[in-house]
Structure 1
Amino acid sequence: MDLHTVRTYCLEKKGAIEDFPFGGDIHVFKICGKMFALLSNRDGILHISLKCEPEVCEILREQYPAIKPGYHLNKRHWNTIEADGSIPTEEIFGMIDRSYQLVFKGLKKAERERITNSLRIK
């Protein structure tokens, strides 16, 4: 799994944008100004930080050694994945979907409707 693949997948999400508030080497993906994914290369390894329910965060960390508490994030609600090939791609895509859905559900109703309605018009 590489940065381009994950970046493309994140940008395919409804209303998703890419931003660089922490510098050019950290790709931040947001919906209505709220982060759902961060990508960075550290020591030649792609790191993907994703939001998650606290109980699911713990299960994933126990299941996969490449998943750690969120790097420079709320460790209760975020995981950081070292994309070293030990986690199946589809599993990572599922974690991205979960993160996006958590953030989407937390948006104001008007924001959710705006995103949903803008996609129907296209």
Structure 2
Amino acid sequence: MSMTEAQVARFCLDLPGAREDYKWGGVRVFSIAGNKMFALQNLRGDSLAFKVDPDLFLGHVDRPGIRPAPYLARAHWVIMNTPYPLGADELRGLLQRSHQLVVSKLPKRTQIGLKLED
């Protein structure tokens, strides 16, 4: 069973240090450490984008319903429309991984309290 837009937003905001704001005239941005984005939701609720592991990027965009995110594909972001083509558990795992990929690029002292146990 797939997640709704509201469930995705709640999950993103429950990740350590996550906050949201609105940019670019209609994009809900989930970020950490001030401005480090890990997920984007279109305010119409029809799309979701997030960062994936570089070595898994091509495998993800090969899947039905998932494609490279415009302007962010070079940073290994994917985008999908609703209804999301992934089950809830897999989508939660990928959103959590996106969060942790961004955390891992932060200075060590900033990472404290944001890392999740593997």
Q: Which interval holds the TM-score relative to the shorter structure?
A: 0.7 to 0.9
RMSD across aligned C-alpha pairs, in angstroms?
Answer: 1.9
TM superposition shift of 1:17: 0.4
* Structure 1 match to 2:21: 19
Task: Mark the structure with the bigger radius of gyration.
Answer: 1
**Amino acid across the alignment from 1:78:** W
Give how far 1:85 is off: 4.5
Note if contact 1:49-1:71 (Cα within 8 Å) is conserved in structure 2. no
Q: 1:18 to 1:85 in 2, by over 3 A?
A: closer
Secondary structure of 2:23's partner? coil
Give the TM-score normalised by the residue count of structure 1: 0.81
- Partner SS state of residue 18, structure 1: strand
Mapping 1:1-122, distance limit 5 Å: 1-23=3-25, 25-32=26-33, 33-40=35-42, 46-62=46-62, 64-113=63-112, 116=113
Q: For the residues of structure 1 that align with 2:85 and 2:52, how far apart are their CA atoms?
A: 20
> Normalization by structure 2: what TM-score?
0.83
Give the unaligned 5+ runs of structure 1.
118-122
Q: How many residues align?
A: 111
Deviation for aligned residue 1:47: 1.1
Say whether the 8 Å CA contact 2:28–2:43 is kept in structure 1: no
The alpha-carbon deviation at position 98 of structure 1 amounts to 1.0
The farther-off stretch of 53-62 and 93-102 is 53-62
* Percent identity of equivalent pairs: 32
Partners of 1:86 and 1:36 in 2: how far apart? 19
| Structure 2: runs of 5+ lacking an equivalent | none
Question: Relative to 1, partners in 2 of residues 1:93 and 1:30: Cα closer, same or farther, differing over 3 Å?
Answer: same
Larger helix percent: 1
